[in-house]
Every structure is written in C-alpha cells, then in structure tokens.
Amino acid sequence: MTPRFYVTTPIYYVNGAPHIGHAYTSIAADVVARFYRLSGYGVFFLTGTDEHGQKVEQAAKNAGVTPGVFADNVSADFRHMADSMNISYDAFIRTTEPRHITSAQNLWRKVAENGAIYLGAYEGWYSVRDECFYSEDELITTEEGKKCAPTGAPVEWVKEPSYFFKLSAFQEPLLELYERNPDFLGPHGVRNEIISFVKQGLRDLSISRTSFQWGIPVPDDEHHVMYVWFDALTNYLSALGYPDETAPLMVYWPAALHLVGKDIARFHAVYWPAFLMAAGIELPHKIFANGWWTVEGQKMSKSLGNVVNPRDLLQEFSLDSIRFFLLREVPFGGDSDLSRKALITRNNVELANDLGNLAQRTLSLVARYCDGVVPEKGEQTEDDIKLLGQVHVLPDVLALQFKRCALTDALEEVWKVIRASNVYIARQEPWTLRKTDPIRMASVLRVLLEALRGIATVLQPFMPETMARLLDQLGVSDDERLFSALNTPIPTGRSLPAPQGIFPRYPEE
Ligand code: MSP
C-alpha cells in the first residue's frame, strides 16, 4: 500500500494582505509535500484561510464592507499568493464554507457529548490582535504603563457568558503525550516552552463569545459564536470530509505534519490535541513550528511601512531564488532576517557559482566534445566511485532530515555533494583530458552528469521550476524524476538540448 502523508499550513487570517511571513510557512510546507510525493507517498497538502472572529469583523468594518465581502477578497489574495509562490496545495479551505461550518459544529457536539464543555461566564483579558485569552500574570506593562499581551498586542477586559472547554482535565494526558512521543512537537525550544506552559497548570478555556456575531453559531445556542480557534483548528478535519468517517479523503487522517509559526504553537500543541482527545479522534503525528522573519533588522509592521509583499520581491528576484533563500538562510525553526544583501549573496554564491557553474561547465563540455549526447561510462576510478556513492545515498540522507523537519540541514547535505562535485571537476580537469585522454574525459563527464542529475532530482522540492529546467537539460524525462528513478542511470547516447544558464546573477549592492 502507498504510504500516506497529510501536511498542512496554518490557515491565514483574512484581516490583512498576505506578506512574506505567510509565504514562508506555505513554502516550507510545499517543500515537504513535494519531497514526500517524489519519495513515493500519497500526499494530501492543505492550505486555506481563517475568516471568522473579531479581528476580521473589525477589519471589514474599517474597510466599510461586510465581513463576508471582505473575507472573499482577502481570501482570493491568499490564493493568488499561494499560486504565485508555486505552492502545490491539493485543497484550499475557507472557514466560511458550509462544509467547514458543519464540521466545526459536529466537533463541538462530539466534545460536548463527552462532557468536556460547560456553560459559565468569562471575565478576563482578551487580545483581538492575537485572538487569544491571557491570564493576568502573562501580561506585560508597556513604557507608558499600559498592560499588553506578551506579544505586545493590546488587550481588553472582557466579561460575558461563555462556554468553556475543560482544558484543565487534559494537563496530564498532554504531558504524557509529549513525554511518550518526543517527536510530536518541535523544534526543541518550542517543545520545552510548551511543556513548561502546560506544567504550570491549565485553566479551562473559554470557547465561545457573545459580544460579536462573525463566527460559527454554537450548536443549540444562537447567542454564542465559537471562539475562532475552536473553529479554525477544525479546518484540518473539515477539508477531509469530517464528520463523514467514510469520506474518501478521511484516509489521510491523522495528519502527518501540521507546520505552524512559533507564535501559534500553543494553539496547535495544547488546544488542538486536547479538543481531539475530548472528541475521541486520533491525534496528528507531528507539529513543527517555524521561526519568525524580520526585514532589514526590523519587525514587519504596517506602521513602519516595511511589510514585504511577495509580489514585490518577485519583481526583482526569481521565485526559486526566494524559496531557496528562505529555507537556506536559517536552520528551519529559527528566526532570521530578510535583507536584500543576504538574498543576493546566497543567490550568487550558492546558486549561480556553486551549482550554476558546475552545471554550465559540465553541460557545455558535453555539448562541445561529446556531440551533445550522454557519453559512455568508462572504467570507474576511486574518485568516481566516491562521488557517485555520495549522490546515491542523497534521497536516504534527506529522508532522515525531513523526518525531523530539518529542511536547512537537508539543503546542506545536498551542498556537500555539490561542493564535492566541484572539487572533483577541478581535480579531473576534463578540459585538459580532452587532449590527453578523451576516453577518460567522456567518463568524467558522465560521472558529472549523473551527479548533477541526482542533485537536481533531490532539489526539486525546493526549486521546482529551476530544477525542472536543469533536468530537461540533463535529458531526464518527466517520468524519470521520482527519487526511485535514480536507481536507473541516464541512458548512454541520449541527446541533450543546448545548455542554458539556469541561475541569474544579481548585481552586488
Ligand atoms: N489564523 C491563524 C492560524 C490558524 S491555523 C488553524 C493565524 N493566522 S496568521 O495569518 O496570523 O498567521 C499565519 C502564519 O503566518 C503563522 O504561522 C505565522 O507564524 C506566520 N507568520 C506571520 N508573520 C510571520 C513572520 N514575520 N515570519 C514568519 N512567519 C510569520 O495565526
């Protein structure tokens, strides 16, 4: 049976325009989805938009339109962003869709039937920007002496009737879950933070609101709408057809991986598994949190006017240079800074020089001195065997890195092989062999073609468009691009198209 892999991005709030921070989580999830497809898994990849709640209601009001119209527009912007970033999602869910509303109400009913929901009254702090309840001791005081959320977001005092979820009852089961499955939550820093948050004691969670309307009605109580996080988290099930257990896509549950930003790890690693346990539904296998991007050293914010729209970045840089930069610049899970200088340097050094030159040199030698056809494999030297051995194990080496969401380490493993190939070409000097030993030259070029083919194949998830072009130039047909195809060499004698540079070089500042 084909193994399955269900991967999700967070669903994005439609209160404002998409920016590069949103694109980041989606690109990372896309790399994961593509990696598992190429490894032979049946993948289902979900993204979408989170459209209810007070924050969206307020944004619509400020724009002078109904929340429905507002959500339609911004949701379409997020879909365009996903398309322009080459995000290979299988489904795009919107929480205003009837299928999702039914699903969230069903989950609520299930949790209520199992006795984990009760009616009470909430009195305490709420941050609309974070859509999060905070306890007094979590708040910080600003320089002006105002209380605000630990994220810096404003908070307001809320007092209203509310349904509560018995989160306190799940403290021990959650701690057991983290303990029993050390891989359930990553990276380490986030895992430790969440464990200590849960150890401090969990209070029951308010899961409905009465002071505004833009939300999913609580079943059998029209005065309440669901707390937006109860609604939003359910999207991961709605998209598969929940509550219909026989829906064809339900075979993808439990999710293999929820990729999220570190700011929303708590909702995914504490609330979500608790809701699922309460409903008697299997838990996702892994939650992994990515870090936060600043821009030229500053936090992105509307007031600073430095919010980077991926569309603007695409005016100047190729999509694959951006995708590569975002995953290469910082170990996945850590925070980093997006600067033009760093983007240009990464591109010029690692793509244009390391990989681009290797490809260009090899392919133009084959074009010129092997009549543009894949040359024969001659007798193998120790150097040949060593390099091809490194290439051969790449899919397995990467599989280990992907298993722990170490996307940057995976790239580093590929770069080791690229650097080794550059050392190889410099040592073998095929341009000199042309005169002294043309048979050996052909053999060396053949080794380099195989190495490039392996490198391009495993880099497809990161740079799909560019690697497709490189594989075209290497004479690898569309049906030879799965990782498993690497076990079959490129047929000798296959003719290759005229080589063309694949990576643009950007002028240094
Ligand atoms: N709607 C919720 C998620 C619900 S999932 C059931 C939400 N939406 S969001 O639009 O505010 O953020 C979505 C994702 O974008 C989060 O994972 C967040 O970490 C990510 N990012 C937003 N700004 C970011 C940066 N500056 N850098 C990196 N990621 C950032 O939260």
Secondary structure string (H, E, C) spanning 245-297: CCCHHHHHCCCCEEEEEHHHHHHHHHHHHHHHHHHCCCCCCCEEEECCEEECC
3-state secondary structure of 465: helix
Clarify whether residues 177 and 55 are in a common domain.
Answer: yes
Say whether both 360 and 284 belong to one domain. Answer: no
- The protein residue whose alpha carbon is closest to atom 19 in ligand 1 is 261
What confidence category does residue 342 fall into, taking pLDDT thresholds of 50, 70 and 90?
A: very high
Distance CA 507, CA 236 (A): 43
Indicate the number of domains in the chain.
2
Q: pLDDT tens for residues 85-138?
A: 999 999 999 999 999 999 999 999 999 999 999 999 999 999 999 999 998 889
**Cβ(261) – ligand 1 distance below 6 Å:** yes
Q: What share of the chain is helix, strand, coil (3-state, %, to 5)?
A: 50, 15, 30
Ligand 1 pocket check for 300: Cβ under 6 Å? yes
Q: Which two tokens stand for residue 478?
A: 């569309």
| Exposed / middle / buried, residue 434 (Cβ in 10 Å: 0-12, 13-18, 19+) | middle
Q: Could you tell me the CATH number of the domain that includes residue 479?
A: 1.10.730.10
Q: How many CA atoms lie within 13 A of 93 on its CB side?
A: 26
- Classify residue 92: in a domain, yes or no: yes
Please report the DSSP string for 426-449 in residue order: HHH-HHHHHHH-HHHHHHHHHHHH
- Same domain as 241, residue 357: no
Which tokens hold the place of 37? 């497809």
How far, in Å, CA of 415 to CA of 397, rounded? 12
Instruction: Give the pLDDT score at 394.
Output: 98
Is residue 272 located within the same domain as residue 354?
no
Joined tokens for residue 263: 């700011």
Question: Based on the domain organization, do 308 and 344 belong to the same domain?
Answer: no
Residue 499 domain-assigned (yes or no): no
Residues 210 and 297 in one domain: yes
Ordered alpha helix ranges (H), 373-429: 382-392, 394-403, 407-428
Q: Is the CB of 134 under 6 A from ligand 1?
A: no
- Flag whether 10 is in a domain: yes
Does residue 75 share a domain with residue 220?
Answer: yes
Three-state secondary structure call for residue 165: strand
Is 470 a residue whose pLDDT tops 90? yes
Query: Distance (Å, rounded) from C-alpha 33 to C-alpha 5?
Result: 8
Range of the domain at 363: 339-487
Residue to mutate, 26, 50, 301, ligand 1, most ligand atoms under 8 Å from C-beta: 50
**What pLDDT digit, counting tens, does each position of 225-280 carry?**
999 999 999 999 999 999 999 999 999 999 999 999 999 999 999 999 999 999 99
Quick one: pLDDT at residue 1?
85
284 and 141 in a common domain: yes
* Residue identifier of the C-alpha nearest atom 10 of ligand 1: 12
Q: Is residue 440, in this structure, part of any structural domain at all? A: yes
Q: Same structural domain for residues 354 and 219? A: no
418 lines ligand 1 (CB under 6 A): no
Above 80 in pLDDT, residue 302?
Answer: no
Residue 136 alpha carbon to ligand 1 centre in Å: 24
Which residue bears the tokens 């030259």? 441
Between CA 474 and CA 491 the distance in angstroms is 11
Distance separating the N- and C-terminal Cα atoms of the chain: 53
Confidence of residue 508 (pLDDT cuts 50, 70, 90): confident
Question: Exposed, middle or buried, 474 (CB in 10 Å: 0-12/13-18/19+)?
Answer: buried
Do 265 and 398 reside in the same domain of the chain? no
Q: How many residues can be counted in the chain?
A: 509
pLDDT at site 143: 84
263 lines ligand 1 (CB under 6 A): yes
Domain assignment of residue 500, yes or no: no
| Residues 293, 220 within the same domain | yes
Q: How far is the CA of 483 from the centre of ligand 1 (A)?
A: 32
State the pLDDT at residue 304: 80
pLDDT for 303 beyond 80:
no
| Residue 81, in any domain of the structure | yes
- Whether 497 maps to a domain, the answer reads no
Torsion-angle region of 475 (φ positive above 0: left; ψ -120 to 50: alpha; else: beta): left
CATH for 194: 3.40.50.620
Tell whether 112 and 185 lie within a shared domain.
yes
242 close to ligand 1 (CB < 6 Angstrom): no
Q: What is the pLDDT of residues 475-490, one digit of tens each?
A: 999 999 999 999 999 9
